[in-house]
Amino acid sequence: MIKKVGVEAKGKCIVCTKDKHGIEVVDDAVIQFIRRFKQKFRVATGNRLVVCGECVPEQEKRRKRFEQSLITNGGLGAVIAIVLGFLGGLNGIVLGVAFLLFLLCFSLLVYWPAIVKKK
């Protein structure tokens, strides 16, 4: 079953990597960073990123995994930061925040962009 949830466009599907009509991908900070990086090294292709109708369930599964990773790592990092803050004073707070940011960076290993939702 094909779910229509967002803005339709023609572009490159990020799941199956084929040129198709599909739902646009949100152009967030991570996507913009990757685009700027590729432009700097002159390997950018300028594709519009979409998710075709057949790949929407797979996209939703991967996005959910990324969001769960972000919540888990953020929660664990926050608990450790609080404990370090109580145990180590100002140095503990600084170390705790640094460790929190370090854990949140691990979520980027499973990053998957969101799709544009209709309003």
Q: How far apart are CA 38 and CA 36, in angstroms?
A: 5
Phi, psi of 43 (to 5 degrees): -120, 10
Q: How far apart are CA 29 and CA 64, in angstroms?
A: 18
Q: For residue 104, give every residue at least 6 positions away whose Cβ sits within 8 Å of its Cβ, in sequence order, or none.
A: 70, 73, 74, 77
- 57-85, pLDDT tens digit by residue? 999 999 999 999 999 999 999 999 999 88
Residue ranges covered by each domain of the chain? 8-110
pTM listed for this prediction: 0.81
pLDDT of the residue at 34: 92
pLDDT of the residue at 92: 87
Q: How far apart are CA 56 and CA 15, in angstroms?
A: 9
Q: How far apart are CA 101 and CA 91, in angstroms?
A: 16
